[in-house]
Structure formats: structure tokens, C-alpha cells
Amino acid sequence: MFQLAFIRTKDTESKATRTVHLTLGDSKSLELNQDVDGFNGEISKTAFTVADVQDIGFILASTFKKAQRLELHLDETVLSLHAPDVWVKWLSLGLALSSYDYKHRDSFHLEPNINAFEMVTEDKALTDAFFEGQVLAQSQLIARELVNKPGNVIYPESFVSAVQELPMDNTTLSFLTESEMREQGFGGLVGISQGSDRDGRMLCLDYHPEGAKTTIALVGKGVTFDTGGISIKGQLRMSTMKVDMGGAAAVVGALNAIAQLQLPVRVIGLCGLVENMPSGRAIKPGDVVTMLSGKSVEIISTDAEGRMVLADVMHYAQQTYQPDYLIDIATLTGATGVSLGKAFASLMGNSDELKALAKVAGNSCSEPLWEMPIGADLYEASLKSDFADVRHGAEDGDGSASVAATFLNHFVAPDQKWIHIDSAAMSLGMTHRKIYPKAASGYGTFLLTALCQHIASK
């Protein structure tokens, strides 16, 4: 039997040790049975996935809140399901996330406090894995804090202010104001932002370690509140539209992790930050705007705002940084949630190599992806306009996730390796997982970090 031991760094005024046994059994659900002999609890399951390992760490720390020492005893058959460092990394993550409980404050300041533990081991590989789990937990909590805060607290300008306070080694922060973007020709982003009294921003986090030979650009949709604009949404779940900046939050979380883990690649995180509001200045259906790339776009629905923001920022990323890999992530279409629920985010793009790496990365961290098509004649037909170079969607909703990605593809250079991740259903309501008992999930932080790790290891 293999034993792992963890000690709380905060004194609980209790020297108690609690032990939990992991064994293979007939159950398909992850439940802690405390009515067992020889241990304080037992978890028996047909198999243990990476998601299970993350949740087990959470269960341990949240069940035995006052125990100073937690021990996990794994049968050899259970241990063989994952490498020891994989067990430790994801257990560490679950332990660290177990105390997070968002509390509202009228401030943009982020408080990503983890439940602090130490691991009892002299094995450097396990120590490193434990550290990585804690880094990922803290980084994801940064993303969750950003998403959890309401739209009157986190908006484009305050989003930037919140991120400016984060210490990230080898990382330079800069941003463009709305007036600067208007002068440069960000017609899509500014066209959406102009309906709000709050100016838009484009945030750039440039992690550039010495000797890096590969450049990765991560682009996140940061619509800090989405009313739908003139194409205003219905009342149902309008209050959740503060999560429409989940992609940008994930990019910030991933950059925090990448910097702490000191990956040997250059990673540029770009966040297009806007509010989408209806007003006398707001963009209207039927309007035509000229994008940063020079293409003219006919607006069909102002509630298809995210793709307009992403298209400009993606073009800027390519023109400014010439990345080897371009990756965008966005809560883009309700169609992805309808198709895949909360089991997968959708994956589209033009690079089989990058899509394969993303799938492996997603499976390795339990943020899996399901590939969907782009570029088919029927999707392109939805983008034909009588009044502009392209329109940004169709009047009907047929294939809308693929149509949106096909639109984005119009702003990707032919030789640019690119993928698009539509995480529409994943940023909120992931309560089927123990590590997300309520509110935002910070989805994408693990995925983007893991993908950059996989690229760096090539």
C-alpha cells in the first residue's frame, strides 16, 4: 500500500491525523464512506480519473477540516492508474481549493487564498508536483475571483487594475485604451464597446523568459457584462452575463501559472475587454464596421459581439508578435453548451498538430475538448454579405458554433497555426465537480497552462 501524507501549515489547535483508504470497487460515484475498519474513511470506485483525484483532495480537506495531518493510503492497483507525481499534483490542487468561498467586496482587488498544506516527502519529483498543484490552484482562483465579481466592480478598466496587482516574474503588462484602439482601427472591438459608458481596453501580458525560442499567443474574450446590446437578451439568466469574460480570466490565470512554473517559452496573453450595452451610441444590426485587418463586416446581431472583439485582437496578435501558435478561448456561443453541455468545451481550428496537443492537454488536466468542424460551404454561406466583405453570422442559428469559428478563421493568416476553444457552458455551474461547489469555475486556466507545457516539451 502506497501512502501520501499532507500537513496543514496553519495550526488548527488539533494534532489529529485522519486516514483515508482508496480502493477499487463497484461504485461509479465518488463518495467517502466513514463507516470502515482501520481508517477514518474509504473511497471505493471502479476507476479514478484525473477529475476524481482533484476532487479527492478537496474531499479530504473539507471533510476533516480540523485535522493537522491527512494521510491517503492507496492500494497498488489504484496507484497504478496514474504516475505518483500525477496523483500528488492533482491531490495538491484539490487540497488547496478546498477553502475557497467567494465573498463580495466593493473592490476589484483579488484574494486568491488557497488552503495551505505541505507534503511529507523527501522525493524532489513529488515535491515539485505538489508545488505545481498549489500554483495551479492559486492561478485558477485568480480567474474565479475575476469571474465571480459583478459587472459593477469588474469592468474593462478595473479588470486591468486588478491584474496589475498580480506579481508575475518575467512578465510585462501593458494595455491600449479605447481611444488608442480607435486610432489604430480596432473597428470590431471599439464598435462593441462604444455602446457603454465604460471605455474598452486591450490588456497584454508578455511572459518572455530568457532564451525562449517559441512564441504562443493566448487571446481571451473579455466581455465584462453582456446585455446583448441592441439585440438585447431576454431576462432569463441575464444576471449571469458577468461571466462572459471567462476566456480573458482564464488567460490571466494561465499566465500567472506559466510565470510561476517558469516555462521556457514566450507566452503573450491578450484580453479584449469591453462592456456590451444598448445605448444611443451602440452598434446596430445592419451596421457595417471596418476591422483592424481592413475587412468590412456586416453586423447581424449585436449579441454576437465576442467574435468581433476576438477578431481584432487575434489580428493584432499576429501582426505584432508573429506567434508560432495562436490560441483563443471564449464563452462564445450558447450552441456549444446545447451540443456538449458541461462535459466538453468545443475545439476548432486550422492546425491538426495544435488540435492534437490541445486534446492531450485537456485530458491531462480534466478540461477536455470535443472537436467540431469549421469552414464547410454551408458555414461560409452563412457569412456571405451583400453589403460588406463578410457578415459575422446568419439570421438563423444553424451550426452557430461552427459558423462563429469560421468567421474567426477569416482573420487568421493562412500559415498561422490556430485553434479556437468555445467554453460557453463551462465558466459557471460546474457543480457536478467537488472542487466547484458553487459560482465560477475558472475553466481554461488548467487547459491553457497544460497546452503551453505540452508545446514547451516538444
Q: Point out the residues that are catalytic.
A: 233, 307
- For the chain, percent helix, then strand, then coil, each to nearest 5? 35, 20, 40
Residue with cell 454561406: 381
Contacts of 294 (CB under 8 A, 6+ apart): 185
Question: Cα 227 from chain centroid?
Answer: 22
The rounded distance, in Å, linking the Cα atoms of 132 and 101 is: 22
Closest of 274, 15, 53 to residue 157, by C-alpha? 274
Cell numbers for 111: 484574494
Residues counted in the chain: 458
The answer to whether the beta carbons of residues 201 and 288 sit under 8 Å apart is no
The rounded distance, in Å, linking the Cα atoms of 36 and 437 is: 26
The rounded distance, in Å, linking the Cα atoms of 33 and 39 is: 10
Q: Which amino acid is at 379?
A: Y
Residue 137: is it exposed, middle or buried by C-beta count within 10 angstroms (0-12/13-18/19+)?
buried
Backbone angles phi, psi at 23, to 5 degrees: -145, 155
Q: Give the end-to-end CA distance of the chain in Å, rounded to a whole number.
A: 35
DSSP 238: G
Cell numbers for 113: 487564498
Buried b (16+ CB within 10 A) or exposed e, 197-217: ebbbbbbbbbbebeebebbbb
Q: Catalogue the E-assigned strands of 248-364.
A: 266-276, 288-290, 296-298, 325-330, 345-349
| Orientation angle between helical segments 124-148 and 246-261, nearest 10 degrees | 150
Cell numbers for 41: 474513511
